[in-house]
């Protein structure tokens, strides 16, 4: 995968949805755009994983609720095996649980099926460039969930059983082992290029991980993430 910006070049995508009419409609709508090439489509999560492995697209537009391997599990697999492929969820669900499950699994964008093709195309390109895109209703659900998580974290931290180190086996707010590792390096003052060199990752991959860290921790910027890291003990060696 090319870790540079997708601006100025055709975006290669895959569409995954179990409803044939929706899937075929999205393929036609998005494929008609001059800057997008739909390289494949999939009817379930397993097909989506296989098609990504076969075609190595820039991004995938993925439904959440599909038979067999659903969108959340497919997202986890894709994030682990193909971290440079941007995942944008397109679904009818925007409740807190669905949003958080998708983001914790590694999705970079979350849209409902009310979105028009211009918004979908924008979200796909932004995600491929390492940015996160959410429509207003989804953003509201995310903020609500983040507020609840912060309140719970504060309450837990005040209790006698609060862990001393956030890098223990159970990390807060659904952070993965890699995200915890990167958060620790952020708290130690390392820049993105330094983190990339330390962990032998591309700068694009580091940026993607950091975007997900910001979302999961409710951090607006790097400073807020550092404060979060120190509050939860991520400022010590991982």
The pLDDT of residue 236: 60
The pLDDT of residue 168: 40
SS3 87: strand
| Alpha carbon distances (Å) from 226 to 119, 133, 195, 217 | 32, 23, 14, 11
Choose the weakest-confidence range: 51-60, 104-113, 121-130, 220-229.
220-229
Which tens digit of pLDDT belongs to each residue from 118-140?
899 999 999 998 887 877 666 66
Closest among 68, 69, 119 to 90, alpha carbons compared:
119
Q: Which CATH architecture fits 11-138?
A: 3-Layer(aba) Sandwich (3.40)
For the purposes of burial, counting CB atoms within 10 Å of the CB of 55, is it exposed (0-12), middle (13-18) or buried (19 or more)?
middle
Closest among 72, 49, 56, 77 to 11, alpha carbons compared:
56
Choose the weakest-confidence range: 25-29, 145-149, 163-167.
163-167
Quote the distance between the C-alpha of residue 115 and its chain's center: 19
The pLDDT of residue 164: 42
Which carries the bigger pLDDT value, residue 66 or residue 2?
A: 66
Domain ranges of the chain: 11-138, 163-238
The pLDDT of residue 42: 96
Residue 27 has pLDDT above 50, yes or no: yes
Residue 154 has pLDDT above 70, yes or no: no
Mean of all residue pLDDT scores within the chain: 81
Quote the distance between the C-alpha of residue 80 and its chain's center: 11
In degrees and rounded to multiples of 5, residue 49 shows phi and psi of -60, -45
Token readout for 115 is 């979105």
The pLDDT of residue 165: 43
The band of 3, judged by pLDDT with boundaries at 50, 70 and 90, is: very low
Q: For residues 156 and 130, give the distance between their C-alpha atoms in angstroms, rounded to a whole number.
A: 32
Instruction: Output the pTM of the full model.
Output: 0.63
SS (H, E, C) 7-38: CCCCEEEEEECCCHHHHHHHHHHHHCCCCEEE
Closest among 136, 141, 171 to 153, alpha carbons compared:
171
Q: CB–CB of 146/173 below 8 Å?
A: no
Query: Given 3.30.950.10, 1.10.10.10, 1.10.1040.10, 3.30.530.20, which CATH number is that of 163-238?
Result: 1.10.10.10
Residue 68 has pLDDT above 80, yes or no: yes
Q: For residues 3 and 66, give the distance between their C-alpha atoms in angstroms, rounded to a whole number.
A: 30
Sheet of 11-16, strands arranged across: 36-42, 11-16, 59-62, 86-91, 109-112, 133-134
Number of Cβ within 10 Å of residue 17's Cβ equals 27
Q: CB–CB of 132/103 below 8 Å?
A: no
Which carries the bigger pLDDT value, residue 58 or residue 103?
A: 58
Counting residues of the chain whose pLDDT is more than 70, the rounded percentage is 79
């Amino acid at each position: 995968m090319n870790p540079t910006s997708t601006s100025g070049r055709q975006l290669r995508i895959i569409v995954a949805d179990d409803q044939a009419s929706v899937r075929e409609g999205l393929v036609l709508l998005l494929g008609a755009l001059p800057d997008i090439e739909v390289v494949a489509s999939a009817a379930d999560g397993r097909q989506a994983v296989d098609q990504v492995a076969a075609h190595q697209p820039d991004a995938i537009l993925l439904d959440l609720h599909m038979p067999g391997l659903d969108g959340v599990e497919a997202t986890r697999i894709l994030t682990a095996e193909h971290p440079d492929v941007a995942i944008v969820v397109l679904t009818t669900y925007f409740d807190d649980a669905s949003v958080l499950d998708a983001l914790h699994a590694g999705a970079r964008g979350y849209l409902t099926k009310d979105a028009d093709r211009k918004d979908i195309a924008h979200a796909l390109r932004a995600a491929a460039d390492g940015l996160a895109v959410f429509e207003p209703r989804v953003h509201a659900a995310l903020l609500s969930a983040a507020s609840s998580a912060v309140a719970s974290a504060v309450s837990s931290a005040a209790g006698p059983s609060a862990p001393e180190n956030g890098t223990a086996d159970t990390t807060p707010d659904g952070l993965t082992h890699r995200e915890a590792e990167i958060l620790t390096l952020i708290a130690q003052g390392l820049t993105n290029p330094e983190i990339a060199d330390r962990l032998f990752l591309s700068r694009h991959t580091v940026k993607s991980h950091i975007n997900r860290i910001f979302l999961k921790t409710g951090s607006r910027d790097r400073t807020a993430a550092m404060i979060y890291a120190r509050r939860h003990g991520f400022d010590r060696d991982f």
